[in-house]
Amino acid sequence: MPRHVFAPSAAWVGRWDGPARLVRRDVDEEAWLRAVYSDVSIVTQFDDGAGALEAGGEDFTSSLSAPGVVVAFLDLLGVRDHQRVLEVGTGTGWTAGLLAWRLGDESVTSVEIDAGVVREARANLRDAGLGPGVVEGDGADGWEAGAPYDRVHVTCGVREVPYAWIRQTRPGGRVVFPWMPGFAFGHRAWLTVTGDGRGIGRFAGNAGYMMLRSQRFGDYAPAVEEDAEPGETRVDPRAVAGESYGCDVAVAGLVPGVTSVEEETGGGCVRLHLRDPDGAWALVDFEPGRDVFPVFQAGPRRLWTEVEAAYLRWLAWGSPSRDRFGMTVTPTGQHLWLDSPDNPITP
């Protein structure tokens, strides 16, 4: 699949740690091609298409994913020649094109919520000589008309796995997705569908994707120490936020709904921001050389207290790595487990 066929002529080279940079084909085609064929994401939409792509915007809302990440997810998907695939999140159509080249047009259905993105993806795929099914709809609902599928390939982050994806996958089939609960970084995840309608699987690596639109995180509202209950902790917040990906999974499972942002405040100091959808929030400040660190908490929960307890519980388990954790999804929701589905972790 020639990637440049799926790239816009104004290519915003995406960065998660800073602003994207614009590379225009009509100004410097060689630089544009270098960007398109580099292992980087290309931002193809800002702010749900509210303005012209060339003008940029505040939030990345659609992209041509970096090739290395695409390959990692497709490898985890593990398709075979005879299988049918549902893709959730078409984007530019490049990944749908890769799947169609591998399996045939008739074996691939890609669902995309944005009508403008659907039109562009269909055009890109035609230009590449391919015609998988590209349909407009909410990917959270899957695409019932094409079910059952052997594989479901998800190209947007989710906190909660929609059960429709499990229901529309035949027993023995696989669902692959970026699990991004909001605490620290995201994870590549896979689930195998069982005969009794559950999805059971594990985590396989890192993932940072734009969220499924119905599961997006809101903006962090400013928090003021004077409005909170003060306290202190001996636990280093930098350790909690960056100890290991196993710790991330444990905290996300033991403290439902918590999200985090780590802010560098200069001189080796860091502020950890926590919040949940119901309005609880916490601030924890780290300053080198301190024996204890100040904590501020407000709202219906004491989020730092919960997160600290989850971290200490993870330590007491022997600091298990990410590959020892797994997830089970049922019609009533999802839960995490350690080592075996029979050993769920609960708050």
Active-site annotation, residues = 65
* List of residues 6+ apart from 182 with CB closer than 8 A: 159, 217, 252, 257, 258, 259, 260
How many Cα atoms occupy the beta-carbon half-sphere of 137 within 13 Å? 16
In degrees, rounded to 5, the angle at the alpha carbon of residue 148 between the alpha carbons of residues 145 and 150 is: 130
Q: Whose CA is closest to 42, among 88, 93, 76, 97?
A: 93
- CA 145 from chain centre, in angstroms, equals 26
Could you tell me which of 34, 35, 54, 33 has the C-alpha nearest to residue 44?
54
**Sheet of strand 281-286, all strands in order from the earlier edge strand to the far edge:** 229-233, 293-298, 281-286, 269-275, 259-266
Phi/psi for 33 (5° steps) reads: -65, -40
Rounded Cα distance between 289 and 57, Å, is: 40
Place of tokens 């497709």: 74
